[in-house]
């Protein structure tokens, strides 16, 4: 299977299936000398593991990471870092009824058309469990960014029709509710909405916003490898993402140029922007302000109500999906968005080092 690798200089290759023995990732291109221990990675994996609230699947996984290679005496060696998480609570019998049936909203039909077969146990490679490898790799990237004072923070801004209020926005609230919403009132309203969806054997989608702070200006390239283009690929590669926007996003289409343009000023001897409608990207390159983007997630397709579908024989039939599923995947996807953004940013930082001769001369002591 092609397409399991991401990155240019800093790369990740995820592997494993939802109901296989384990899932994991190989990270290559990480500089030597970075302090890294399992706890650094586990902190991120704990944010996405199941069973943390009544709005997540009850699959009982500890998602404990093992570092198999690339780290010696607490520091990276500059060689490939192999990270493994063993699957502990697979219930493949929950999926036997759908072995010959295509679930609406899933990759069952398209996977079958491409490969001629599919792993129906939880979706195989198309399962959300594949994101464990992404999160583990992104945790490594986040350590690189931390060394440079760069931060990445994601949070939920919408669940179903419930939106966070700008007037009540408080990042500290994210740690106080299970939906990672920076608005206590909106979080309670969203919980009530989810309770109703669960009673109806239905699900909800939502929106995640992410902010990358303290990136230097000039990361990215002006044509195909624009920072925003690569960021969009990173985020849109997450299974349930159906939309992506940066800065003002689709609202920019309604604005006049005089409203959308960010005016430049000089503050404390530095060039800054008065506003950030562009979301930190100009001409495909970072402009030194916060990179702000949003990812739009569809409702969880695994729902327990009766649905119409077809089977592999081309016969129309009905399906009622069994098993353990999240009524909303957005809260657990927050860390996935955050770590994919961190990985992309770290990769673009490494790529940007060779853009200018003065940087190369300085690195090799010729300046």
Q: How many distinct structural domains can be found in the chain?
A: 1
* Rounded Cα gap, residues 119 and 343, in angstroms: 28
Q: Which range among 120-124, 126-130, 188-192, 358-362 has the greatest average pLDDT?
A: 188-192
Average pLDDT over every residue of 251-261 = 97
What pLDDT is stored for residue 91 in this prediction? Answer: 58
The DSSP symbol for 34 reads -
- The domain that holds 169 is classified in CATH as 3.60.150.10
Per-residue pLDDT tens over the stretch 184-193: 999 999 999 9
Average pLDDT over every residue of 63-72 = 96
Average pLDDT, the chain: 92
* Rounded Cα gap, residues 227 and 222, in angstroms: 9
Strands of 151-159's sheet, edge to edge?
162-163, 151-159, 206-213, 291-297, 241-246
What does pTM read for this prediction?
Answer: 0.93
> What tokens appear for 237 in the block?
């590669």
Domain span holding position 305:
5-363
Whether 329 contacts 295, CB under 8 Å: no
Neighbour-count burial of 120, counting CB atoms closer than 10 A to its CB (0-12 exposed, 13-18 middle, 19+ buried): buried
* Rounded Cα gap, residues 204 and 197, in angstroms: 7
The DSSP symbol for 266 reads E
The DSSP code sequence of 42-106 is: HHHHHHH-S-SSTTS--------EEEEESEETTEE-SS-EEEEEE-----GGGGGGGTTBPPTTS
Per-residue pLDDT tens over the stretch 97-121: 788 899 999 989 998 888 888 888 7
Per-residue pLDDT tens over the stretch 169-184: 999 999 999 999 999 9
């Amino acid at each position: 299977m092609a397409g399991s690798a991401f990155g240019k200089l800093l790369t990740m290759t995820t592997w494993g299936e939802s109901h296989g023995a384990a899932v994991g990732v190989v990270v290559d291109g990480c500089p030597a000398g970075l302090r890294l221990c399992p706890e650094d990675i586990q902190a991120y994996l704990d944010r996405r593991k199941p069973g943390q609230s009544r709005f997540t699947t009850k699959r009982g996984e500890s998602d404990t990471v093992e570092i198999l290679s690339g780290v010696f005496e607490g520091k990276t060696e500059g060689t490939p870092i192999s990270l493994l998480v063993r699957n502990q609570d697979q219930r493949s019998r929950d999926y036997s009824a759908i072995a010959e049936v295509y679930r609406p909203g899933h990759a069952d039909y398209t996977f079958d058309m491409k490969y001629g077969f599919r792993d129906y146990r939880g979706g195989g490679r198309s399962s959300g469990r594949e994101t464990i490898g992404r999160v583990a790799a992104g945790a490594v990237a986040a350590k690189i960014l931390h060394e440079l004072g760069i931060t990445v923070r994601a949070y939920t801004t919408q669940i179903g029709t419930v939106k966070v209020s700008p007037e009540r926005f408080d990042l500290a609230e994210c740690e106080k509710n299970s939906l990672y919403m920076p608005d206590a009132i909106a979080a309670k309203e969203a919980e009530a909405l989810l309770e109703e969806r669960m009673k109806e054997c239905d699900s909800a989608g939502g929106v995640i916003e992410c902010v990358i702070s303290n990136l230097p200006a000039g990361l990215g390239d002006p044509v195909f490898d624009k920072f925003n283009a690569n960021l969009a690929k990173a985020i849109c590669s997450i299974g349930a993402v159906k939309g992506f926007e940066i800065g003002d996003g689709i609202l920019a289409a309604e604005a006049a140029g005089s409203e959308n343009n960010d005016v430049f000023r000089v503050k404390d001897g530095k060039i800054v922007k008065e506003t950030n409608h562009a979301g930190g990207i100009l001409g495909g390159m970072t402009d030194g302000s916060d990179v702000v983007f949003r990812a739009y997630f569809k409702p969880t397709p695994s729902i327990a109500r009766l649905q119409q579908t077809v089977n592999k024989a081309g016969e129309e039939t009905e399906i009622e999906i069994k098993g353990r599923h999240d009524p909303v995947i957005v809260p657990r996807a927050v860390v996935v968005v955050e770590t994919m953004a961190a990985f992309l940013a770290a990769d673009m930082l490494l790529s940007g080092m060779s853009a200018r001769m003065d940087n190369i001369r300085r690195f090799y002591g010729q300046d």
